[in-house]
Chains A and B, each alone.
Chain A
Amino acid sequence: MSAQAIARPRVAPNVARLLRRNAWTLGTYGLFVAVMIFTVAIHPNYGPFEVQSLVVGALPLAFAAVAEACVVLGGGIDLSIGAMMAVANVVAARYMNHHDFQTAILVSVLVLVGGTLAGALNGVIALRTRVPDIVVTLAMSFVWGGVALLILPQPGGGAPDGFLALASGNVLTPWIPAGIVLLIVVVGAIWIPVKLSRIGLALYAVGSDRTAAFRRGVRIGPTRVFSYALGGFFAACGGLALLMSTGIGSPLAGTIYTLSAISAIVLGGVSLAGGRGGVMGPIIAALVLTMVPADLILSGTDPNFGQVIQGTLIVLVVMAGGLAPLLRSRRRAIVPGASSG
């Protein structure tokens, strides 16, 4: 009898399992489609320009969400994502201003390296001092916030047009904004190799269960530092994207992205407990979170009320997501004896 209990037959075909495991991401796509339909409905002549501005507006948040997702998937949290974005933003705006495209690219590379190191620093501090990461990164957010103001006390600076066009231009047809291509290329080039390699597996393992991961032979410390470094890299991407979308550097614009990024990953199906989720969900959620306030303004709602609606939406979605595991554990409790014969 227990032989049957352990040898579970493969009743569920792989497609069903794939759907079940990605249910949340698919739900986020569904939400995106619904909001999109609503947008087109209230917007009589929705066209390439609107798509363009949506992508340009959502790009910084999308990168911030990916950055936060990398850290949270590994079982940590980083409250300095927004501040790191601000630093990347002002450094780029200051040193790209009045220079050509090649210099802008060089500056970008340096900013990305710097962002990666700043992220890694968060990880190393949290690991070495054993101060909880939430405290370390909160403190670091003040440090980076101050650094951003030191570099550029007032909004200013700029970047060559060619650089701005990386986000605001389009590819082949006006319907494909360059920003979305940039996002897919950058995230794809970094995330896909990570996800397919052992370090990516280790990242998920550490986020899921640190003790089990340790016993499986995962080196916990380096893996955690890696996840923060990856977060720092994408935060720097977010800072550059902010420059592309606004055209100038602003020392304070980045800071709001920390909490928005956390909203986006929660909405996008990343478990704050770590180990569950991906980066596609958060990216789609970033688009949704950009569309909702714009739609509300367009439909004549008080923008302040828009915030209320956005918060309510997040709570409702997360509540709905919380139902699934609850139902599953109920079902399992009805079939006892699997473990005790």
Chain B
Amino acid sequence: MTDDAILLETRGLKKNYGAVVALRSGDISVRAGEIHALMGANGAGKSTLVKVLTGDVTPNAGTIRLEGREVRFNSPANARKAGLASVYQDVSLVPLLTVAQNLRLTGTTMAAIRPWLEELELGDVDLAEYARDLPTPTLHLLDLAQALASLPRLLILDEVTATLPADLSERVFRVARRWRDEGRSVVLISHRMTEVKALCDRATVLRDGSTVGVVDLASSGQEEIVSLMLGPAAASVVVSEGAVADTAPAPKVDPSPAVEVRGLRSGLLQDVSFTLRRGEVLGIVALEAQGQADLFECLSGNRRPDAGEILVQGKTRRFRHPHEAIGAGLVLVPADRALALLRQRSVLENIALPMVNQLKRWGLINTRAERKRVKAATDRLEIDTRAGSRVMRLSGGNQQKVTIARWLATGFVTLLCFDPTRGIDIRTKEQIYRVLRELAASGSAVLLFTSELPEIQLACDRALVMFGGRVVAELTAHDATEAALLRAAHGLERGGTGPAEAAS
């Protein structure tokens, strides 16, 4: 620790995709011989920073210095030559080539990789198998072995442990420690706070695409990281918008269950049970890839679950098609508006699309009734329809309102909202919260997944926190402060310091 030579230092790295800024100002400084954590909430820019560092994408601005010298990488191969190797979140082996062929592509010799295969206990893997035919954890470890074989000075692990069972994660940590002991460096991205605390020396925290602080993990605790991730701005947003939840009228409807989920399993979803009642907005909070997407897919009929059951108003339902879920009153508002809308068509057609079957008269669409119902929905949501001849010309917020208006016009019991306010301006957000509250007050049930934690207290009655494919906490709106949610979402017990081993 006496020799604090800086191995890698970046200044003001910036990357935008069109109008979306993924990374505003990424600064990170990694010393030789340390394990450095990179932390931040969803969409904070961690993965983009890694991609920029390894030449997977080129930054719009900013500098990267390796041992004091400025470098520029235009491909991962280039970065690897300079001593930066990365294991990505998504596996990067070519699926239709054998493992051996994949190794040949990177120019990795068997002699170089053999010891690392042994180290990671992969000696038994048949290298003549197609990458496609091997399980994902094996591929991640193979990817790691191959990265190690190039003996990088800096090894970057982007959420490698997210898909690994505990014993395999331990193998990764063993290698990371060895790397540090040999005077090389590791950058670790992980959502698991306990993992970071146990393994890493320092942590750089990103928020909204900018580096907001560097924490020495030996001397400071999780609280400091959590508060950095939250930032001071979060609190002020809540105050300025006013508590929508408080002003909404109290539900007068009989709180019978609209949807019950029992032991649901599918994809990343391990075992989830909960009840969603009429007249409430139930929030779902989770970090990336904790099973929330699978939950919404199952509920909206996009996918059949592996196990467990879904009860709609007391009756077990097995949806084979979204059309059946819509028939049962479960309708989805996805985050990606392009998925929900016919971008080239008019507002009217988009809203009327699911209800054409209700409006048929002698096989033709009753256009007057159609217009009337669409008008009622657009008025209620205050949709600006001046550019309504093509939905793609509307603003993002208005597009999202069209998605909701469609279901208002069609009719539903349960509204499933998957991150509906992503990339929407604050005024429209507020309108959407208000609509959700009103819907609940009039007897509908709303399930709301959101990646913006302040929304929970603004719009929800209760919140469930998911981690590792399970529900790990249930909080009332009052208790669901950002800090409490964030802590639970990282697999930490409420207020405590011990780990919640929900992932094993």
Same complex for A and B? Answer yes
B107 within 8 A of A: yes
Say whether, besides A3-B167, A204-B96, A338 and B135 are in contact (CB < 8 Å).
yes
Decide: A339 and B92 in contact? CB cutoff 8 A.
no
8 Å CB interface, A193-215 against B: 198, 201-202, 204-205, 207-209, 211-215
Please give, as numbers and ranges, the residues of chain B lying within 8 Å of A213 by CB-CB distance.
94, 105
8 Å CB interface, A178-228 against B: 198, 201-202, 204-205, 207-209, 211-219
Decide: A8 and B76 in contact? CB cutoff 8 A.
no
A143 to chain B minimum Cβ distance, whole angstroms, is 31
Stretch at the interface among A9-17, A90-98, A237-245, A299-307: A9-17
Chain B contact residues: over half helix, strand or loop, or mixed? loop
B316 within 8 A of A: no
8 Å CB interface, A1-49 against B: 2-3, 5-10, 14, 17, 21
Decide: B168 and A214 in contact? CB cutoff 8 A.
no
A340 within 8 A of B: yes
> Which residue of the partner chain A has the closest CB to B92?
A215
Say whether, besides A201-B105, A340-B268, A6 and B94 are in contact (CB < 8 Å).
no
> Which residue of the partner chain B has the closest CB to A14?
B128
In the bound complex, CA of A341 to CA of B168 (Å): 10
Say whether, besides A7-B121, A215-B76, A217-B75, A276 and B126 are in contact (CB < 8 Å).
no
> 1/0 per position for B177-195, CB-CB distance to A under 8 A?
0000000000000000000
In the bound complex, CA of A201 to CA of B96 (Å): 11
Specify which of B76, B77, B135, B166 is in contact with A5 (CB 8 Å cutoff): B135
Say whether, besides A5-B137, A205-B105, A214-B76, A336 and B306 are in contact (CB < 8 Å).
yes
8 Å CB interface, B300-319 against A: 306
Decide: B96 and A17 in contact? CB cutoff 8 A.
no
Specify which of B130, B163, B167 is in contact with A339 (CB 8 Å cutoff): B163
Please give, as numbers and ranges, the residues of chain A lying within 8 Å of B163 by CB-CB distance.
339-340
> Which residue of the partner chain B has the closest CB to A207?
B96
Please give, as numbers and ranges, the residues of chain A lying within 8 Å of B123 by CB-CB distance.
7
Say whether, besides A5-B135, A341-B165, A217 and B107 are in contact (CB < 8 Å).
yes
B260 to chain A minimum Cβ distance, whole angstroms, is 23
Decide: A10 and B126 in contact? CB cutoff 8 A.
yes
> 1/0 per position for B59-96, CB-CB distance to A under 8 A?
00000000000000001110010000000100111111
In the bound complex, CA of A217 to CA of B77 (Å): 4
> Which residue of the partner chain A has the closest CB to B265?
A336
Decide: B105 and A217 in contact? CB cutoff 8 A.
yes
In the bound complex, CA of A339 to CA of B105 (Å): 25
> Which residue of the partner chain B has the closest CB to A215?
B92
Decide: A208 and B95 in contact? CB cutoff 8 A.
yes
In the bound complex, CA of A209 to CA of B106 (Å): 15
B293 within 8 A of A: no
Please give, as numbers and ranges, the residues of chain A lying within 8 Å of B110 by CB-CB distance.
none
- Interchain Cβ contacts under 8 Å between A and B, 26 examples: A6-B141, A7-B121, A7-B123, A7-B125, A8-B124, A8-B129, A8-B138, A9-B124, A14-B128, A17-B128, A205-B94, A208-B95, A209-B94, A209-B95, A212-B94, A213-B105, A214-B75, A214-B76, A216-B105, A217-B106, A218-B105, A275-B94, A339-B163, A340-B268, A340-B469, A341-B504
